[in-house]
């Protein structure tokens, strides 16, 4: 089994990985690239320019969420319908391209905070399986998968409330491997060195402490302080940032 997260439009790298392995691929969300904090590339830059994106990142990093929302509202002051259509077109094109790289992969795919579920599922090639939340058996392991991001205050479509995340995790019951898009609320795992944002889920942490799976794989943190960390009896491993690394995390068969 190979696990990856935060693909963010890395089409060439994803296609290379799919072509190089016969192992089960598990994709832990964020397939398209809205903004790359390192390069300012992405859909937002195409809509509003890199200087605007740089300012948005600064406001979000400083926790000035109301100002970040106001900055986005200013972009919409022109023809809102035109902006909405341009955004939708860019999202459609991004999913068409990145999902095309999964042709023949037979992958399990969940969603991250930037993902649009309906568009992702529309373009996911036959043979690949989308799972919003649920149980799987993969290579002899009992695997629980829960997609979605933590609330940021920016009303991003793929975010889940804390209560909803807790509900979906509880519905899994005990598993051997937990797969989520987000990390647990552990300081060393939840803070992004570039950008400084904290995205850990208290609900995920509580699940780990209660059910004690052997492994927890996650993404969302692109430049983490720690890649591996033990929480209770669980080895937690960051499976991103695939856009930058092009590498997956290998999990051995049972």
pLDDT, residue 89, reads 95
Give the HSE-up count for residue 215: Cα atoms under 13 Å, Cβ half-sphere: 21
pLDDT, residue 27, reads 98
What fold does the segment set 2-250 form as a domain?
Answer: Purple Acid Phosphatase; chain A, domain 2 (3.60.21)
**Domain range list for the chain:** 2-250
Which among 15-29, 31-45, 185-199 has the top mean pLDDT? 15-29
Answer whether 237's CB lies under 8 Å from 222's CB.
no
Residue 116 predicted with pLDDT over 70: yes
Spatial strand order of the sheet with 2-4 comes to: 129-130, 108-110, 25-28, 2-4, 249-250
Give strand pairing partners of 178. Answer: 144, 216
Residue 76 predicted with pLDDT over 70: no
DSSP3 helix / strand / coil % (the chain, rounded to 5): 40, 20, 40
The tokens for 100 are: 């095309």
Residue 194 predicted with pLDDT over 80: no
Compute the average pLDDT of residues 126-137.
97
The tokens for 113 are: 């905070």
Answer whether 91's CB lies under 8 Å from 4's CB.
no
Other Cβ atoms less than 10 A from the Cβ of 1: the count is 22
Answer whether 147's CB lies under 8 Å from 181's CB.
yes
pLDDT, residue 56, reads 83
pLDDT, residue 254, reads 67
Give strand pairing partners of 145. Answer: 134, 179
pLDDT, residue 68, reads 82
Residue 79 predicted with pLDDT over 70: no
Tell me the pLDDT of the chain averaged across its residues: 92
Q: Which of 34-48, 74-88, 151-165 has the weakest average pLDDT?
A: 74-88
| pLDDT, tens digit (0-9, with 9 covering 90-100), for 223-247 | 889 999 999 999 999 999 999 999 9
How far is the C-alpha of 117 from the C-alpha of 120, rounded, in Å? 5
Residue 70 makes CB contacts below 8 A (sequence gap 6+) with none
Between 62 and 191, the more confident residue is: 191
């Amino acid at each position: 089994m190979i696990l990856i997260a935060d693909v963010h439009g890395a089409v060439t790298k994803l296609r290379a990985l799919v072509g190089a392995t016969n192992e089960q691929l598990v994709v832990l969300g964020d397939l398209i690239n809205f903004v790359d904090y390192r390069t300012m590339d992405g859909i937002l830059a195409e809509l509003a320019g890199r200087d605007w994106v740089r300012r948005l990142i600064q406001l979000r990093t400083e926790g000035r969420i109301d100002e970040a929302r106001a900055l986005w509202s200013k972009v919409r002051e022109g023809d809102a319908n035109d902006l909405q259509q341009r955004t939708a077109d860019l999202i459609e094109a991004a999913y068409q391209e990145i999902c095309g790289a999964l042709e023949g992969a037979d992958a399990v795919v969940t969603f991250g905070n930037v993902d649009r579920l309906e568009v992702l599922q529309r373009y996911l090639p036959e043979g690949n399986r989308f799972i919003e939340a649920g149980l799987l058996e993969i290579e002899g392991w009992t695997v629980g998968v829960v997609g979605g991001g933590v609330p940021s205050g920016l009303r991003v479509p793929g975010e889940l409330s804390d209560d909803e995340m807790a509900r979906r995790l509880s519905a899994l019951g005990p598993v051997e491997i937990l797969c989520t898009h987000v990390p647990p609320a552990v300081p060393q795992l939840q803070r992004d060195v570039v950008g400084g944002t904290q995205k850990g889920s208290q609900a995920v942490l509580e699940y780990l402490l209660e059910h004690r799976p052997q492994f927890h794989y996650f993404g969302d943190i692109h430049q983490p302080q720690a890649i591996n960390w033990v929480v209770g009896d669980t080895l937690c491993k960051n499976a991103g940032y695939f856009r930058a690394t092009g590498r997956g995390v290998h999990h051995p068969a049972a």
